[in-house]
Amino acid sequence: MDSAPGEPPPLVTADTPPPPPPAPPSRYESQKRRDWNTFLQYLRNHKPPLTLARCSGAHVIEFLKYLDQFGKTKVHVTGCPYFGHPNPPSPCACPLKQAWGSLDALIGRLRAAYEENGGRPESNPFGARAVRIYLREVREGQAKARGIPYEKKKRKRSTTVSTTTVISDGGEVSTSLANVSTVVTRESDGGGGHGVINVSVASTSATNTTPSVVATATTV
């Protein structure tokens, strides 16, 4: 019941339902927060201690190598008889390391967390060229050692639009595209979302009165 002008609003009774609790963070957001806290703790324990402002790509690579001691992926050394064997028949003494895919995903989360916590994109150490090179070397090295090649991912999207050209008796021309197809292909090496996007557009006329046009654009 609404209160009259000049009267206080009605009191909220115990029967009034409480507001709904905020939605819990997603699994990705929770993992990103844990990764960020782990990295900050690593900087504090560094000898000598490091601040985030002084952190560089070289420090990020040191952090990735530090995490290898907690890895669970067997990476055969060159002298191991199972080097390059995807399914070794028996155990060996080769070390356990972090899998390349885990490190790549970790860098993606830390790169986003750095900017979400006030870091500038142009000074993001997780996006440094040295880090990308290191991840590529880990990927290639583990592929050879484990005999498991990492193939490039491709995503394609195609669209076809049919159009016509009409010339009326009065000489008015109405033109639309004919047989236009667009194919977008993204080739990714799996490293931090970087890759090549190829866009191809082909246009042909149904009556062959308009020449074909093919355009290709490449973006890195």
For the chain, the farthest-separated pair of C-alpha atoms sits apart, in whole angstroms, at: 89
- Model confidence at 148, in pLDDT bands (50, 70, 90)? confident
pLDDT of residue 17: 74
- Check whether 115 has a pLDDT greater than 90: yes
- The answer, as to whether pTM is greater than 0.75, is no
Give phi and psi for 164, each to the nearest 5. -135, 165
- Check whether 25 has a pLDDT greater than 50: yes
Of 83-92, 142-151, 184-193, 204-213, the range with the highest mean pLDDT is 83-92
Mapping DSSP to helix (H, G, I), strand (E, B) and coil, where does residue 95 land?
A: coil
- Model confidence at 194, in pLDDT bands (50, 70, 90)? very low
Of 55-64, 67-76, 204-213, minimum mean pLDDT range: 204-213
- Model confidence at 49, in pLDDT bands (50, 70, 90)? confident
- Check whether 192 has a pLDDT greater than 60: no
* Rg of the chain taking only CA atoms, in angstroms: 29
Per-residue b or e along 19-46, where b marks 16 or more CB atoms closer than 10 Å to that residue's CB: eeeeeeeeeeeeebeebbeebeebeeee
- Model confidence at 193, in pLDDT bands (50, 70, 90)? very low
57-67 helix and 27-45 helix, angle to the nearest 10 degrees: 100
- Check whether 164 has a pLDDT greater than 90: no
- Model confidence at 204, in pLDDT bands (50, 70, 90)? very low
